Protein backbone atom coordinates (compact mmCIF):
# COMPACT_ATOMS: atom_id res chain seq x y z
CA UNK A 1 0.00 0.00 0.00
CA UNK A 2 1.30 3.43 -0.95
CA UNK A 3 1.35 6.18 1.66
CA UNK A 4 1.31 9.58 0.01
CA UNK A 5 1.94 12.52 2.27
CA UNK A 6 1.88 15.37 -0.21
CA UNK A 7 -0.56 16.46 -2.91
CA UNK A 8 2.24 16.03 -5.46
CA UNK A 9 2.77 12.40 -4.42
CA UNK A 10 -0.89 11.35 -4.66
CA UNK A 11 -1.30 13.23 -7.91
CA UNK A 12 1.75 11.50 -9.43
CA UNK A 13 0.60 8.05 -8.27
CA UNK A 14 -2.90 8.54 -9.66
CA UNK A 15 -1.44 9.88 -12.91
CA UNK A 16 0.54 6.65 -13.29
CA UNK A 17 -2.59 4.59 -12.71
CA UNK A 18 -4.57 6.64 -15.21
CA UNK A 19 -1.82 6.13 -17.80
CA UNK A 20 -2.32 2.38 -17.33
CA UNK A 21 -6.07 2.86 -17.90
CA UNK A 22 -6.84 1.87 -14.32
CA UNK A 23 -9.95 3.32 -12.69
CA UNK A 24 -9.70 5.00 -9.30
CA UNK A 25 -12.15 5.04 -6.40
CA UNK A 26 -11.72 7.62 -3.67
CA UNK A 27 -12.96 7.34 -0.09
CA UNK A 28 -12.53 10.71 1.64
CA UNK A 29 -12.29 10.36 5.44
CA UNK A 30 -11.07 12.21 8.47
CA UNK A 31 -9.56 9.01 9.86
CA UNK A 32 -10.25 7.22 13.13
CA UNK A 33 -11.75 4.62 10.85
CA UNK A 34 -14.70 2.43 11.79
CA UNK A 35 -16.88 -0.17 10.08
CA UNK A 36 -18.76 2.54 8.22
CA UNK A 37 -15.55 3.69 6.51
CA UNK A 38 -14.54 0.09 5.80
CA UNK A 39 -17.86 -0.49 4.03
CA UNK A 40 -17.15 2.56 1.82
CA UNK A 41 -13.75 1.07 0.91
CA UNK A 42 -15.41 -2.24 -0.01
CA UNK A 43 -17.84 -0.42 -2.30
CA UNK A 44 -15.01 1.54 -3.94
CA UNK A 45 -13.06 -1.70 -4.38
CA UNK A 46 -16.01 -3.39 -6.06
CA UNK A 47 -16.31 -0.53 -8.59
CA UNK A 48 -12.74 0.47 -9.47
CA UNK A 49 -9.25 -0.97 -10.04
CA UNK A 50 -7.49 1.15 -7.42
CA UNK A 51 -8.79 2.53 -4.12
CA UNK A 52 -7.45 5.69 -2.50
CA UNK A 53 -8.43 6.58 1.06
CA UNK A 54 -7.72 10.13 2.18
CA UNK A 55 -7.19 10.68 5.89
CA UNK A 56 -7.32 14.37 6.64
CA UNK A 57 -8.96 16.15 9.55
CA UNK A 58 -9.96 19.12 7.46
CA UNK A 59 -9.67 22.27 9.59
CA UNK A 60 -11.78 24.43 7.30
CA UNK A 61 -14.99 22.50 8.01
CA UNK A 62 -14.81 23.06 11.78
CA UNK A 63 -16.30 26.17 13.37
CA UNK A 64 -14.34 28.11 16.01
CA UNK A 65 -16.00 26.35 18.97
CA UNK A 66 -16.05 22.88 17.49
CA UNK A 67 -13.92 19.81 18.18
CA UNK A 68 -11.05 20.23 15.66
CA UNK A 69 -8.34 19.89 18.32
CA UNK A 70 -9.82 16.93 20.10
CA UNK A 71 -11.10 15.10 17.00
CA UNK A 72 -9.79 11.52 17.49
CA UNK A 73 -6.71 10.60 15.48
CA UNK A 74 -4.83 7.29 15.24
CA UNK A 75 -2.93 7.07 11.99
CA UNK A 76 -1.13 3.80 12.77
CA UNK A 77 -4.40 1.99 13.37
CA UNK A 78 -6.01 3.63 10.31
CA UNK A 79 -3.06 2.61 8.16
CA UNK A 80 -3.31 -1.00 9.35
CA UNK A 81 -7.06 -1.11 8.70
CA UNK A 82 -6.59 0.26 5.17
CA UNK A 83 -3.83 -2.23 4.46
CA UNK A 84 -5.95 -5.14 5.74
CA UNK A 85 -8.86 -3.94 3.60
CA UNK A 86 -6.78 -4.04 0.43
CA UNK A 87 -6.60 -0.27 -0.08
CA UNK A 88 -4.03 0.73 -2.70
CA UNK A 89 -3.08 4.17 -1.41
CA UNK A 90 -3.59 6.33 1.64
CA UNK A 91 -3.34 10.08 1.22
CA UNK A 92 -2.34 11.62 4.54
CA UNK A 93 -1.50 15.29 4.10
CA UNK A 94 -0.99 17.99 6.72
CA UNK A 95 -3.18 21.12 6.79
CA UNK A 96 -0.19 23.12 5.53
CA UNK A 97 0.07 20.76 2.53
CA UNK A 98 -3.56 21.33 1.67
CA UNK A 99 -3.94 25.04 2.42
CA UNK A 100 -1.39 27.65 1.42
CA UNK A 101 -1.04 30.43 4.01
CA UNK A 102 -2.81 32.80 1.61
CA UNK A 103 -5.45 30.26 0.48
CA UNK A 104 -8.45 32.24 -0.69
CA UNK A 105 -10.63 30.15 -3.02
CA UNK A 106 -13.73 28.41 -1.71
CA UNK A 107 -16.54 26.27 -3.06
CA UNK A 108 -19.85 27.37 -1.62
CA UNK A 109 -23.04 25.47 -2.32
CA UNK A 110 -25.78 27.98 -1.69
CA UNK A 111 -29.04 26.05 -1.48
CA UNK A 112 -28.94 22.56 0.03
CA UNK A 113 -26.51 23.75 2.67
CA UNK A 114 -28.99 26.32 4.02
CA UNK A 115 -30.81 23.83 6.25
CA UNK A 116 -30.21 21.10 8.85
CA UNK A 117 -26.51 21.01 9.84
CA UNK A 118 -25.83 24.09 7.69
CA UNK A 119 -27.79 26.24 10.15
CA UNK A 120 -25.87 25.25 13.26
CA UNK A 121 -22.54 24.82 11.42
CA UNK A 122 -22.49 27.78 9.02
CA UNK A 123 -19.03 27.26 7.46
CA UNK A 124 -19.08 23.47 7.58
CA UNK A 125 -20.23 22.64 4.06
CA UNK A 126 -18.03 25.30 2.48
CA UNK A 127 -15.05 23.52 4.04
CA UNK A 128 -16.36 20.09 3.01
CA UNK A 129 -17.02 21.10 -0.62
CA UNK A 130 -13.68 22.86 -0.93
CA UNK A 131 -11.62 19.98 0.43
CA UNK A 132 -13.58 17.37 -1.55
CA UNK A 133 -13.08 19.24 -4.81
CA UNK A 134 -9.36 19.46 -4.02
CA UNK A 135 -9.27 15.70 -3.35
CA UNK A 136 -11.23 14.96 -6.54
CA UNK A 137 -8.76 17.11 -8.51
CA UNK A 138 -5.70 15.47 -6.97
CA UNK A 139 -6.83 11.88 -7.54
CA UNK A 140 -8.92 12.56 -10.65
CA UNK A 141 -10.93 9.67 -9.26
CA UNK A 142 -13.64 8.06 -11.37
CA UNK A 143 -15.79 7.34 -8.33
CA UNK A 144 -16.01 8.71 -4.79
CA UNK A 145 -17.98 6.99 -2.05
CA UNK A 146 -19.79 8.86 0.73
CA UNK A 147 -21.90 7.39 3.52
CA UNK A 148 -25.60 8.12 3.89
CA UNK A 149 -24.91 8.76 7.58
CA UNK A 150 -23.85 12.25 6.44
CA UNK A 151 -26.84 12.48 4.13
CA UNK A 152 -26.80 16.24 3.69
CA UNK A 153 -23.06 16.17 2.94
CA UNK A 154 -23.51 13.47 0.28
CA UNK A 155 -26.42 15.33 -1.37
CA UNK A 156 -24.43 18.58 -1.39
CA UNK A 157 -21.38 16.88 -2.92
CA UNK A 158 -23.61 15.38 -5.61
CA UNK A 159 -24.99 18.85 -6.31
CA UNK A 160 -21.49 20.40 -6.42
CA UNK A 161 -20.30 17.75 -8.87
CA UNK A 162 -23.34 18.30 -11.07
CA UNK A 163 -23.15 22.09 -10.95
CA UNK A 164 -19.39 22.28 -11.59
CA UNK A 165 -19.27 19.43 -14.15
CA UNK A 166 -16.76 17.46 -12.11
CA UNK A 167 -16.18 14.19 -14.00
CA UNK A 168 -16.73 11.80 -11.08
CA UNK A 169 -19.52 9.47 -9.96
CA UNK A 170 -20.68 10.00 -6.39
CA UNK A 171 -21.94 6.85 -4.73
CA UNK A 172 -24.05 7.11 -1.61
CA UNK A 173 -23.44 4.09 0.60
CA UNK A 174 -25.77 2.68 3.27
CA UNK A 175 -25.54 4.03 6.81
CA UNK A 176 -23.78 1.53 9.09
CA UNK A 177 -24.89 1.10 12.71
CA UNK A 178 -23.29 -0.39 15.79
CA UNK A 179 -24.93 -3.66 16.89
CA UNK A 180 -27.04 -1.70 19.39
CA UNK A 181 -28.34 0.67 16.71
CA UNK A 182 -26.21 3.79 17.21
CA UNK A 183 -25.07 5.18 13.85
CA UNK A 184 -21.32 4.59 13.46
CA UNK A 185 -19.31 7.75 13.92
CA UNK A 186 -15.77 8.58 14.97
CA UNK A 187 -17.38 10.94 17.49
CA UNK A 188 -19.08 8.04 19.34
CA UNK A 189 -15.74 7.72 21.12
CA UNK A 190 -16.54 10.91 23.06
CA UNK A 191 -19.62 9.35 24.71
CA UNK A 192 -19.54 8.06 28.29
CA UNK A 193 -21.32 4.73 28.82
CA UNK A 194 -24.37 6.54 30.16
CA UNK A 195 -24.43 9.00 27.24
CA UNK A 196 -24.02 6.13 24.78
CA UNK A 197 -26.97 4.28 26.31
CA UNK A 198 -29.15 7.39 26.26
CA UNK A 199 -28.05 8.20 22.69
CA UNK A 200 -29.64 4.95 21.58
CA UNK A 201 -32.89 6.92 21.81
CA UNK A 202 -31.87 8.51 18.48
CA UNK A 203 -31.86 5.26 16.50
CA UNK A 204 -34.90 4.00 18.43
CA UNK A 205 -36.73 7.17 17.40
CA UNK A 206 -35.54 6.82 13.80
CA UNK A 207 -36.73 3.19 13.65
CA UNK A 208 -40.08 4.05 15.28
CA UNK A 209 -40.69 6.92 12.85
CA UNK A 210 -39.69 4.75 9.89
CA UNK A 211 -42.06 2.02 11.05
CA UNK A 212 -44.90 4.54 11.40
CA UNK A 213 -44.16 5.78 7.86
CA UNK A 214 -44.13 2.21 6.54
CA UNK A 215 -47.51 1.74 8.23
CA UNK A 216 -48.91 4.68 6.28
CA UNK A 217 -48.15 7.76 8.41
CA UNK A 218 -47.27 10.61 6.04
CA UNK A 219 -47.51 13.65 8.30
CA UNK A 220 -44.11 15.29 8.86
CA UNK A 221 -45.35 16.74 12.15
CA UNK A 222 -46.23 13.29 13.48
CA UNK A 223 -43.08 11.57 12.22
CA UNK A 224 -40.75 14.26 13.57
CA UNK A 225 -42.64 14.25 16.89
CA UNK A 226 -41.91 10.52 17.34
CA UNK A 227 -38.17 11.10 16.90
CA UNK A 228 -38.03 14.29 18.96
CA UNK A 229 -39.90 12.69 21.86
CA UNK A 230 -37.60 9.66 21.89
CA UNK A 231 -34.50 11.89 22.11
CA UNK A 232 -35.94 14.33 24.64
CA UNK A 233 -37.30 11.57 26.90
CA UNK A 234 -33.72 10.26 27.15
CA UNK A 235 -32.41 13.69 28.13
CA UNK A 236 -30.87 14.54 24.75
CA UNK A 237 -30.80 18.15 23.60
CA UNK A 238 -32.25 18.37 20.11
CA UNK A 239 -30.42 20.61 17.65
CA UNK A 240 -32.93 19.80 14.90
CA UNK A 241 -35.40 17.12 13.91
CA UNK A 242 -36.64 17.78 10.39
CA UNK A 243 -38.40 16.03 7.57
CA UNK A 244 -37.13 17.45 4.29
CA UNK A 245 -37.31 16.72 0.60
CA UNK A 246 -34.26 14.91 -0.77
CA UNK A 247 -34.21 17.09 -3.88
CA UNK A 248 -34.05 20.50 -2.17
CA UNK A 249 -33.47 19.73 1.52
CA UNK A 250 -36.45 21.90 2.40
CA UNK A 251 -39.07 21.02 5.04
CA UNK A 252 -42.14 19.26 3.68
CA UNK A 253 -45.46 18.72 5.46
CA UNK A 254 -46.31 15.38 3.92
CA UNK A 255 -44.12 12.53 2.70
CA UNK A 256 -45.31 12.66 -0.91
CA UNK A 257 -41.85 12.65 -2.54
CA UNK A 258 -38.46 11.10 -1.70
CA UNK A 259 -37.80 12.48 1.77
CA UNK A 260 -35.21 12.48 4.50
CA UNK A 261 -35.97 12.39 8.21
CA UNK A 262 -32.85 13.80 9.83
CA UNK A 263 -31.77 14.90 13.27
CA UNK A 264 -28.87 16.22 15.28
CA UNK A 265 -28.82 16.03 19.06
CA UNK A 266 -26.40 16.54 21.91
CA UNK A 267 -25.75 13.94 24.55
CA UNK A 268 -23.44 15.68 26.96
CA UNK A 269 -21.12 17.75 24.78
CA UNK A 270 -21.25 15.31 21.87
CA UNK A 271 -23.32 16.24 18.84
CA UNK A 272 -24.62 13.20 16.97
CA UNK A 273 -26.50 13.00 13.70
CA UNK A 274 -28.72 10.29 12.27
CA UNK A 275 -31.29 9.96 9.51
CA UNK A 276 -33.41 7.69 7.41
CA UNK A 277 -34.26 8.04 3.74
CA UNK A 278 -38.02 7.69 3.21
CA UNK A 279 -38.45 6.74 -0.42
O1 LIG B 1 -17.33 12.98 6.19
C2 LIG B 1 -16.15 13.30 6.45
O3 LIG B 1 -15.42 12.58 7.11
C4 LIG B 1 -15.62 14.64 5.94
O5 LIG B 1 -16.61 15.61 5.95
C6 LIG B 1 -14.97 14.55 4.56
C7 LIG B 1 -15.95 14.13 3.49
C8 LIG B 1 -13.81 13.55 4.60
C9 LIG B 1 -14.39 15.90 4.14
O10 LIG B 1 -13.42 16.34 5.04
Residue nearest to atom 9 of ligand 1 (CA): 128
Q: Work out the pLDDT band at 84, boundaries 50, 70, 90.
A: very high
CA of 150 to the centre of ligand 1 (A): 9
Q: How far apart are CA 36 and CA 175, in angstroms?
A: 7
pLDDT attached to residue 120: 95
pLDDT attached to residue 172: 98
pLDDT attached to residue 15: 98
Q: What is the pLDDT of residues 172-200, one digit of tens each?
A: 999 999 999 999 999 999 999 999 999 99
pLDDT attached to residue 133: 98
CA of 261 to the centre of ligand 1 (A): 21
State mean pLDDT over 226-247. 98
Q: What is the pLDDT of residues 251-273, one digit of tens each?
A: 999 999 999 999 999 999 999 99
pLDDT attached to residue 50: 98
Q: Which residues of 191-201 are buried (b: 16+ CB within 10 A; e: fewer)?
A: beeebbebbbb
- Ligand 1 pocket, residue 60 CB under 6 Å: no
pLDDT attached to residue 92: 98
> Can you list the domains of the chain with their CATH numbers?
2-173 (3.40.50.620), 186-278 (3.30.1300.10)
Residues of the chain above pLDDT 70, percent: 100
Q: What is the pLDDT of residues 18-57, one digit of tens each?
A: 999 999 999 999 999 999 999 999 999 999 999 999 999 9
Which secondary structure element, helix H or strand E, spans residue 192, and what is its range? none
91, 150, 271: which to mutate for ligand 1, most atoms within 8 A of CB? 150
pLDDT attached to residue 128: 98
Catalytic residues: 37
Q: How far apart are CA 102 and CA 168, in angstroms?
A: 28
In ligand 1, the atom with minimum distance to the C-alpha of 28 is 8
pLDDT attached to residue 279: 93
State mean pLDDT over 163-179. 98
pLDDT attached to residue 142: 98
CA of 61 to the centre of ligand 1 (A): 9
pLDDT attached to residue 165: 98
Beta strands in 33-167, from DSSP E residues, in sequence order: 50-55, 89-91, 143-147
Nearest to 14 by CA among 27, 25, 29, 28: 25
State mean pLDDT over 51-75. 97
Averaged confidence pLDDT in the chain? 98
Which secondary structure element, helix H or strand E, spans residue 42, and what is its range? helix 35-47
Which secondary structure element, helix H or strand E, spans residue 46, and what is its range? helix 35-47
- Ligand 1 pocket, residue 152 CB under 6 Å: no
pLDDT attached to residue 46: 98
CA of 278 to the centre of ligand 1 (A): 24
Q: Work out the pLDDT band at 140, boundaries 50, 70, 90.
A: very high
Amino acid sequence: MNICKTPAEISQLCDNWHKQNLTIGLVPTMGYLHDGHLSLMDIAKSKTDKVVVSIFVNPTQFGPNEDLDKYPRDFERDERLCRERGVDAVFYPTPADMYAPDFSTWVTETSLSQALCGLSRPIHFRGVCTVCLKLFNLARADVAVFGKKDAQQALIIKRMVRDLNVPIDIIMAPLIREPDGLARSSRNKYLSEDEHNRALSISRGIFAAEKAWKNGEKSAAKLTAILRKSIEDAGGQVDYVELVSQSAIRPIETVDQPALLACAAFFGKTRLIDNVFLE
